[in-house]
Amino acid sequence: MTNYSYIYSFKYDFHHSDLCKLESRQLFDKEEKNGMLFSNIKVDPSISPFIKKRFDIISSSENYSELLKNIKKENIGVDGFKVEYLTLDGDPTEYSERLNKLREIGFIIDAAPNYYSPSITYSLCYYENVWYFGVLKKQNIDWHKHKNKPYSFSNSISINIAKTLVNIASKGNKFNRIIDACCGTGTVILEGCISGYNIEGCDNNLKVYQHTINNLSYYNYTANVYLTDIKDHNKKYDSAIIDLPYNLYSHTNDTLISNIIESTSKIAARVVIVSISDIESIIKKSGLKISDFCTVEKRGKINFTRNIWVCEKEISKD
């Protein structure tokens, strides 16, 4: 038996495995395993590209008959319900048996079902000799529309990575103030907006700044975007995201990278950095401590690897 309140199920491509595990560590303080995770931390699946479902546990028992009795005691009477089976790693239950169990639960619930447009979805699952009954919350995929944003660059990070960066930077706290320090066309800001985060951006390139403004306007999102260099930006934030410039529209070198990181660390205590080179020494010189890290492969006409560095400001011992 478990004392956890939620079961999360994950799905990701193999080249996003490390990124998913990094996000999991930052949101839940532990890694998902075999596409699932038990936790007492409540997270909306729609903020993550990898969390597909959240199972809110109502009752559990090692004995299925006992579970049915517990469900009956709940006196559930929500019209428009649906019951689904959530298959977890290691579940040996045959498909026909799953259907039978769903029917049994459906008969216990004293309400009218709706299989096509349910008002609520209940669920049954089995893991390590324990049966669980609860409410199933699925990921809303509205954020996929950002794949068709009007303005983007070929080397821009994917919306999957952008969505994950916001979660890593904020650790899932939507009250945190976030700055995208080199916002480009606003890929990260769009994902922050649709997930309800308090996010702003800045860029010193007029062309890409205007692209960000136009992309936000296209989706009717509201966020502050500043046409300024990060070194001249004085507002304070809880966390920052830096997707370091490396495409055809910008020129970068170690000095520029160092200046961007140092400037950002002055206005945010927590900084998540994306780079295509090893910048560990530059990060440490800027007064930041690397607390977590992963790599993500970029597949396409040109293959390369992105490094994602999770950094915290060093606390002075004086």
Per residue of the chain (318 residues), give pLDDT as tens: 568 999 999 999 999 999 999 999 999 999 999 999 999 999 999 999 999 999 999 999 999 999 999 999 999 999 999 999 999 999 999 999 999 999 999 999 999 999 999 999 999 999 999 999 999 999 999 999 999 999 998 778 999 999 999 999 999 999 999 999 999 999 999 999 999 999 999 999 999 999 999 999 999 999 999 999 999 999 999 999 999 986 434 445 888 999 999 999 999 999 999 999 999 999 999 999 999 999 998 766 567 799 999 999 876 554
Write down the pLDDT at residue 247.
Answer: 44
What's the CA gap between 278 and 307, in Å, rounded? 8
Write down the pLDDT at residue 298.
Answer: 74
**Could you give the angle at which helices 187-194 and 206-218 cross, rounded to 10 degrees?**
30
30, 84, 145, 192, 195 from 43: Cα distances, Å:
14, 20, 22, 15, 11
**Which H or E run contains 35?**
none
Domains for the chain: give ranges and CATH numbers: 6-138 (3.30.2130.30), 142-313 (3.40.50.150)
Write down the pLDDT at residue 248.
Answer: 38
User: Residue 51: which of 21, 89, 10 has the closest Cα?
Assistant: 10
Q: pTM here?
A: 0.93
Write down the pLDDT at residue 168.
Answer: 98
Q: Give the strand pairing for 6-10 and 51-61.
A: antiparallel
